[in-house]
Amino acid sequence: GSEDEGDFQVGAHQKIATKKKGKPGSFEAFNLSPFLFKNIKKKGYNLPTPIQRKAIPVIMEGFNVIAMARTGSGKTGAFVIPVVERLKTHSTIIGSRCIILSPTREIAMQTANYFRAMTANTDLTFVLIVGGNDMENQFERLVLNPDVIIATPGRLMHCVQETGLSLSAVEMVVYDEADRLFEMGFAEQIKALTDKMPKSRQSLLFSATISSQVRDFALSGIKDYRMLQVDKES
């Protein structure tokens, strides 16, 4: 356990560098791209929260995930960080590769701010599609072919219907605050939007609680998922 255990001394002037993995449970241990690691540090985060520690590596490996952790436990980072790591750079593929569904305009805007911070010094792009904003402007920005769409389900469904927005390039979908998504009556829109995405997509569901609606949706709409849970009691 010394400072330089990342290197093996093999001769007076010869060193073989080995992969520095970082302490288990640290951000270093995830082997993130340097830009992303820097953006996390810039945000002032020193250690991942328990749900981030569980979710980030599993999502980076490509698994479907259902993650349950209390409000304030850092769930936004638990999906934004691995989404950014997986997408990494802007793609000229027609169509967005990641959809993040949020229950409210405010949560969508917070997620967008988080996403902006984590993608600093990259060319990854996103569009925010929420109620209350100028709809024409949002439609226009979709033409720019953003890598990520952060949206409330009602407004996104509207865009799909009005503009013929295709979801056929989607590789990852996030259902954030899923208990609230369903409480707010978005079940139909969520199912309709999900049906327009490729079967090969990676599905990520985050929730403070797993209600019966969330459980039913998970069972029918998400296959072979890893269930991750922290803070069971709250």
| φ, ψ of residue 149 in degrees (nearest 5) | -115, 125
Q: Which two tokens stand for residue 205?
A: 């569901």
Q: Which of residues 66-85 bind Mg ion (CB under 5 A)?
A: 75
By the rule CB under 6 A, 72 interacts with ligand ADP: yes
Which residue has the closest beta carbon to ligand ADP?
76
By the rule CB under 6 A, 203 interacts with ligand ADP: no
By the rule CB under 6 A, 74 interacts with ligand ADP: yes
Strand bridging mode 15-17 / 7-9: antiparallel
Q: Which two tokens stand for residue 93?
A: 């593929």
By the rule CB under 6 A, 25 interacts with ligand ADP: no
By the rule CB under 6 A, 48 interacts with ligand ADP: yes
Q: Which of 201, 191, 180 is nearest to 157 (CA)?
A: 191
Looking at the Cβ atoms of 75 and 201, the one nearer to Mg ion is 75
By the rule CB under 6 A, 102 interacts with ligand ADP: no
CB 112 within 8 A of CB 128: yes
Cα separation, 143 vs 202, whole angstroms: 24
CB of 187 to Mg ion, least distance (A): 19
Considering CB distances under 5 to 8 angstroms, the limit depending on partner class, which of ligand ADP, Mg ion, none binds residue 52? Answer: ligand ADP
DSSP assignments along 22-52, one per residue? -STTSSGGG---HHHHHHHHHTT--S--HHH
Return residues touching Mg ion (CB under 5 A). 75
Return residues touching ligand ADP (CB under 6 A). 45, 48-49, 52, 69, 71-77
